[in-house]
């Protein structure tokens, strides 16, 4: 089996694997954790909990209750432009009379180390101002060669409330039961809590902000973003935060039943993590 070549030198696979572990830990803070999905969210510095769009299926399932049509979406992120640190996402939302069902899959990594998440979601509206969603997750972490893989089951859920025509609050929790990841040192998958708000100044200007608490990461993370709509189908976004991703920007083009977005966050030490997403509504 060939040994990877980096900058002209052959590098043992164990070193490549160590680098993947180190860099990914700077971003996800542990196995089983997943950052918000969608290039729109990336452009807003991962603000997501109070937004209602297709990628709510991954970010706050309550928001997918507003999806009216059968929709399919794909997204891809390349963390820090490292070839082995890509994350692919595929999702489908199917509207029902009594709510919306959704199926999603995410895959991060490569042959020697990967994380996979498969989610089955359900969301519905309770009146014109309240939405609730829940998702059952199957998680798998594989370490390649002789190390094998480990699987877990957990859940996530969210609530959104339109306080006024312009103001929306969102609450989201991932893995509140803190599922055990490994018997070694009683290692558990952290729980993540997010609270956010979105305010529409007009149909052209949106602002959003949120706070996040990870049970294994002490500082509370603050994020904020602004989205400007130009001539109905074009969107421009910027964001900032107190986490390692300090700045972001992005662009979107939405036309009838197609939504295309690109965005990137900038890590203070490791650089850019570009992301693109494409959604079809039928």
How does pLDDT run across 146-185, given as a tens digit for each residue? 677 889 999 999 999 999 999 999 999 999 999 988 766 6
Instruction: Tell me the Ramachandran region of residue 146: left when phi exceeds 0, alpha when psi lies from -120 to 50, beta otherwise.
Output: alpha
| Domains defined along the chain, listed by start | 5-281 (2.40.160.60)
pLDDT tens digits, one per residue of 55-96:
999 999 999 999 999 999 999 999 999 888 899 999 999 999
The CA distance from 265 to 45, in Å, is 6
Bridge partners, 48 (sequence order)? none
Structure tokens belonging to residue 20: 């993947």
Structure tokens belonging to residue 33: 């954790």
CA 53 to chain CA mean position, Å: 13
Specify the pLDDT at position 6.
Answer: 40
Percent of the chain with pLDDT strictly greater than 70: 87
The CA distance from 263 to 252, in Å, is 8
Specify the pLDDT at position 261.
Answer: 98
For CA atoms 174, 179, 182, 185, the dihedral sign is positive
Specify the pLDDT at position 9.
Answer: 40
Cβ–Cβ < 8 Å for 64, 93: yes
pTM (global) more than 0.85: yes
Structure tokens belonging to residue 160: 């959104």
Cβ–Cβ < 8 Å for 27, 82: no
Angle at 90 between CA 86 and CA 95, to 5 degrees: 155
């Amino acid at each position: 089996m060939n040994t990877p070549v980096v900058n002209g030198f052959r590098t043992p696979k164990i070193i490549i694997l160590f680098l993947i572990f180190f860099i990914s830990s700077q971003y996800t803070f542990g196995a089983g954790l997943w950052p918000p999905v969608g290039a729109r969210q990336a452009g807003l510095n991962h603000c997501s909990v109070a937004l209602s769009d297709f990628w709510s299926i991954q970010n706050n399932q309550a928001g997918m209750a507003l999806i009216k049509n059968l929709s399919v979406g794909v997204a891809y992120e390349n963390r820090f432009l490292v070839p082995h640190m890509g994350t692919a996402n595929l999702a489908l939302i199917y509207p029902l009379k009594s709510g919306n069902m959704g199926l999603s899959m995410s895959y991060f990594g490569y042959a020697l180390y990967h994380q996979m998440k498969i989610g089955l979601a359900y969301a519905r509206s309770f009146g014109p101002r309240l939405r609730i969603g829940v998702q059952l997750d199957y998680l798998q972490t594989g370490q390649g060669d002789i190390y094998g893989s480990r699987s877990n089951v957990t859940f996530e859920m969210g609530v959104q409330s339109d306080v006024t025509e312009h103001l929306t609050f969102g609450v989201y929790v991932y893995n509140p039961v803190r599922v055990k990841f490994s018997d070694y040192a009683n290692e558990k998958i952290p729980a993540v809590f997010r609270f956010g708000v979105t305010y529409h100044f007009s149909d052209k200007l949106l602002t959003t902000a949120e706070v996040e608490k990870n049970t294994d990461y002490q500082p509370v993370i603050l994020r904020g973003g602004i989205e400007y709509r130009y001539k109905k189908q074009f969107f421009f976004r910027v964001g900032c935060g107190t986490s390692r991703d300090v700045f972001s920007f992005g662009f979107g083009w939405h036309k009838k039943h197609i939504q295309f977005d690109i965005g990137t966050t900038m890590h203070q030490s490791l650089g850019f993590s570009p992301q693109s997403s494409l959604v079809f509504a039928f």
